[in-house]
Structure 1
Amino acid sequence: MKQLLSVLYAPADYIHPQRFKSLGSPQGTAQQQLLNSHLLAHFGLCSDLPTAATSVLMRTLVSNWRHLRTAATLLGCKLGRADFVRSGQLASLSLMQQRYLGLPIIAPQIALPDQGCVQTRAQALGASYLLLFVPQLPNALAQRLPLLFAPEQLNIAMPSGLEPNYTLLNFAIDYAKTNYS
């Protein structure tokens, strides 16, 4: 419950720096609360606690919120593997990302975005893939998931008919927790 409350009421703890430029780190609890209140209002974030029984997906995302950026990058590496191989950029990935690609996980292959460094392109692809899960989330979490990423990272069109794969998401989150903590 504490993690859910943190995700709902403390967006300053996780919002991507390109989404909100602060004037430095808030000093003290009062300033932190003021900043969070401002962010909730600025982005029009609903702060209602989900009333329905929490889904496995919701519990997974909330309990691993701080790992979702890394998991998105891993997802992007896996989804864009064919492009990395074709373009000869596989060696540009970190050793951990290369090891993740070596795991026997079946994933659809999706074209990487054209611009940005390898890491940015992988994270953008993974972030856009994560958004496929948004319809399954309560409104409060659906509003907050995109805030983890830069706005331009969420503009990649996914192939029509592509369904979000919970197992693929779990593998990425577990790998992120184990290898990047």
Structure 2
Amino acid sequence: MNIRRNLKLSVASLCLVTSMAMAQEKDTEALKTTTTKTYMIHKGDEVEKRTVEISTVRNNDIKLDENDSTKINQDRIVQSKSMITKTVKIDKDKDDAFDEKIVFSYKSATPEDFVLVSNDNELMVAIDNGENLKILENMSLKSKNSLGNNQAYIFTDNNGKEIEFMVEEYDNSWNNMNDSK
């Protein structure tokens, strides 16, 4: 009898602790999209076509209106900025494997229509142009600082807005046969 009562008490305590821990977690939502684009690199007299797969994850904190706390359908408070992480996989040749991988993140109210692409060992900013990407000519990335292996950069868009982003991974010799097109 005593063992059964202790077991019930232990299970009830575990449920209470678990529900309290879950109540303390921030409510977040992640929106994921993946697109495929192409861009051209001019190398002397030759033009190379490169295929790019862009995976975008937008993490939003969900905040609800405190005035609606007793209601089932609560109104959301619009979040001003979200954390956006983009993974760019670049295929530079005719095989089925991607050759480069760039992972970067930034905070923004809207997912900006830019990605980082590369030309040899140089990172470049490209913007969405329908099914293709257009590399911004005469665009220089200002290096801000580095945190461990991550490098922070700032670039100014066409509207004069400065966007600060962190390059979390840049591997120009990445070749993963499991991540083929």
TM-score computed with the length of structure 2 as normaliser: 0.24
Whose relative contact order is higher, 1 or 2, with alpha carbons under 8 Å and at least 6 apart? Answer: 1
Larger Rg: 2
TM-score computed with the length of structure 1 as normaliser: 0.24
More strand by share: 2
More helix by share: 1
